[in-house]
């Protein structure tokens, strides 16, 4: 017998038996979809994690526009390398530590963030060098193999002297721990690291650019289609006008594509059309990202 819903992944098709409310809940919950840029970045992270220990460990910068999947991909990688209990040892094993950089280039807050993630007691008033010592000792004890610093542009912002200071912090941590450091952020982070020749030589780059309206974008929409339980196929491959419209509504940002697909799919269920088409995309009350930033007219 042929598959009744060839436009859906098997597990997703099973949701068609559920109530509309359950389907909508499922559609609204976060999901991971693979696409070539993310697969490539995760492969690079895997390679870095198994890099043999050496005096100068390579680092990686994951650079991209905002709302385009950077955080989601490093968090997925962390999920694949979760901390492990270590019954015989003093501390759990933490192969990969993910942190968000503090919003300002403040070394003290940077160490506080790490100490809090490790549930380590610390004195807020301690000097940064003392905290740095504590951080290095703890990160060695948990067997850290990779530190991921998201929003790294925050700590590389500001005046040149502050930038330099933080670049030295990163360099020192990497050298002491002999681990790769992965920075995640915007082009500003890339520019800041370029100012330090020694560091820029040691940072490889992965770029997650804004999407173009090309075959990869069409594939992305087809991946969304497979993952969202609607009864009828939207056949994006045969509907270039729908693809063009979703592209212009999203302005090429993955997070926007995801929101459009969710809103349109809910509309498709509530209106019983059970597919995404051009007409209904005009009815979901969408405002393009660049228009959202404009002041409302009085
Ligand atoms: N692999 C993926 N599969 C499905 N949806 C995704 C994926 N990656 C990102 N998204 C969607 O895009 C949204 C934005 O992703 P994310 O928060 O990772 O972006 P970001 O690049 O870190 O943005 P920012 O620079 O603002 O921090 C997510 O909330 C999710 O809806
Ligand atoms: Mg992010």
> Which tens digits make up the pLDDT trace of 223-266?
999 999 999 999 999 999 999 999 999 999 999 999 999 999 99
Packed helices 160-177 and 128-141: angle between N→C axes, nearest 10 degrees: 30
For ligand 2, a single-atom ion, the residues with CB < 5 A are 71
Return d(Cα 122, Cα 95) in angstroms, integer. Answer: 22
Mean of pLDDT values over 156-162: 81
Confidence of residue 121 (pLDDT cuts 50, 70, 90): very high
Pick from 239, 254, 245: which is nearest to 286 by CA?
Answer: 245
Confidence of residue 159 (pLDDT cuts 50, 70, 90): confident
Q: What is the pLDDT of residue 91?
A: 78
Ligand 1, atom 13, lies closest to the CA of 255
Q: Which protein residue has the closest C-alpha to ligand 1 atom 9? A: 69
**206 - beta bridge partners?**
62
| Residue in 155, 145, 148, 165 with CA at minimum distance from that of residue 60 | 148
**What pLDDT is attached to residue 230?**
98
Q: What angle do CA 119, 124, 128 make, to 5 degrees?
A: 100
At 99 the three-state DSSP class reads strand
- Considering every ligand atom shown, identify the ligand nearest to the alpha carbon of residue 189 and give its number: 1
Q: Is 27 in the pocket of ligand 1 (CB under 6 A)?
A: no
Q: What is the DSSP string of 28-89?
A: HS------HHHHHHHHHHHHHHTPPP-SS--EEEEEE-TTSSHHHHHHHHHHTT--B--TTS
Evaluate: CB of 187 within 6 angstroms of ligand 1: no
Does residue 275 contact residue 234 with C-beta atoms inside 8 Å? yes
Ligand 1 contacts CB of residue 64 (under 6 A): yes
How many residues belong to the chain? 298
How far apart are alpha carbons 74 and 184 in whole angstroms? Answer: 8
Average pLDDT over residues 107-134: 95
Q: Give the span between the Cα atoms of 11 and 256, in whole angstroms.
A: 25
Tell me which of 19 and 197 has the higher pLDDT. 19
Least confident range of 40-49, 78-87, 266-275:
78-87
| 158 band by pLDDT with thresholds 50, 70 and 90 | confident
Residue 196 has pLDDT above 90, yes or no: no
**Residue 89 pLDDT > 80, yes or no?**
no
Atom of ligand 1 nearest to the CA of 186: 25
Look at residue 160 in the predicted model and tell me its pLDDT.
79
Query: Which residues of the chain form beta strands (DSSP E)?
Result: 59-64, 96-100, 146-150, 181-185, 203-208
Which range, 145-159, 262-276, 282-296, has the best average confidence (pLDDT)?
A: 262-276
State the pTM of this model.
Answer: 0.93
What mean pLDDT do residues 67-88 have?
94
Atom of ligand 1 nearest to the CA of 31: 4
In angstroms, what is the span from residue 30 Cα to ligand 1's centroid?
10
- The CB of 67 under 6 Å from ligand 1? The reply is yes
More confident residue, 207 or 294: 207
Contact 151, 75 (CB under 8 A): no
Identify the pLDDT of residue 295.
66
Looking at every residue in the chain, the average pLDDT score rounds to 93
Interval 159-168 mean pLDDT:
84
Q: What is the pLDDT of residue 2?
A: 65
Q: Looking at the predicted structure, is the pLDDT value of residue 298 above 60?
A: no
Ligand nearest to the CA of 67: 1
Query: Residues 148, 78: contact at Cβ < 8 Å?
Result: yes
CA atoms within 13 A on the CB side of 200: 10
Mutate to test the pocket of ligand 1, among 41, 67, 222 (most ligand atoms within 8 A of CB): 67
Q: Which residue would you say has higher pLDDT here, 197 or 274?
A: 274
Q: Is 257 in the pocket of ligand 1 (CB under 6 A)?
A: no
Strands 181-185 and 203-208: unpaired
User: Looking at the CA of 188, which ligand is closest?
Assistant: 1
pLDDT band (50, 70, 90) for residue 296: low
Phi, psi of 225 (to 5 degrees): -60, -45
- Looking at all shown ligands, the one closest to residue 220's CA atom is 1
Residue located nearest, by CA, to atom 23 of ligand 1: 67
Residue-wise pLDDT tens digits, 32-77? 999 999 999 999 999 999 988 777 889 999 999 999 999 999 999 9
Q: 153 C-alpha to center of ligand 2: Å?
A: 11
CB 35 within 8 A of CB 223: yes
> Is the model's pLDDT at 191 over the cut of 90?
no
Give the model's confidence band at 176: pLDDT under 50 very low, under 70 low, under 90 confident, else very high.
Answer: very high
16 class by beta-carbon count within 10 Å (0-12 exposed, 13-18 middle, 19+ buried): middle
Q: Give the per-residue pLDDT at 297.
A: 63
């Amino acid at each position: 017998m042929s598959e009744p819903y060839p436009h859906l992944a098997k597990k997703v098709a099973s949701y068609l038996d559920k109530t509309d409310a359950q389907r909508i809940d499922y559609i609204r919950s976060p999901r991971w979809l693979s696409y070539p840029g993310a697969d490539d970045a995760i492969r690079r992270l895997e390679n870095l994690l198994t890099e043999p220990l050496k005096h100068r460990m390579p680092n990686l910068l994951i650079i991209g526009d905002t709302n385009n999947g950077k955080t989601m991909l490093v968090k997925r990688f962390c999920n694949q390398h979760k901390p492990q209990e270590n019954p015989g040892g003093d501390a759990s094993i933490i192969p990969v530590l993910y942190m968000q950089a503090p919003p300002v280039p403040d070394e003290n807050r940077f160490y506080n963030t790490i100490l809090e993630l490790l549930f380590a007691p610390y004195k807020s008033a301690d000097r940064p060098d003392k905290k740095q010592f504590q951080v290095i000792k703890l990160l060695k004890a948990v067997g850290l193999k990779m530190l991921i610093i998201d929003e790294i542009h925050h700590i590389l912002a500001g005046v040149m002297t502050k930038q330099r200071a933080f670049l030295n912090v990163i360099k020192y941590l990497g050298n002491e721990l002999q681990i790769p450091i992965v920075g995640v952020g915007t082009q500003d982070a890339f520019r800041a690291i370029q100012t330090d020749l020694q560091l820029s030589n040691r940072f490889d780059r992965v770029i997650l650019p804004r999407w173009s309206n090309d075959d990869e974008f069409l594939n992305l929409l087809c991946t969304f289609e497979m993952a969202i339980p609607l009864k009828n196929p939207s056949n994006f491959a045969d509907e270039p006008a729908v693809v063009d419209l979703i592209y212009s509504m999203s302005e090429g940002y993955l997070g926007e594509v995801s929101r459009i697909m969710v809103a349109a799919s809910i509309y498709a269920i509530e209106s019983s059309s059970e597919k995404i088409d051009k007409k209904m995309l005009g009815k979901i009350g969408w405002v393009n990202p660049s228009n959202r930033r404009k002041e409302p007219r009085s």
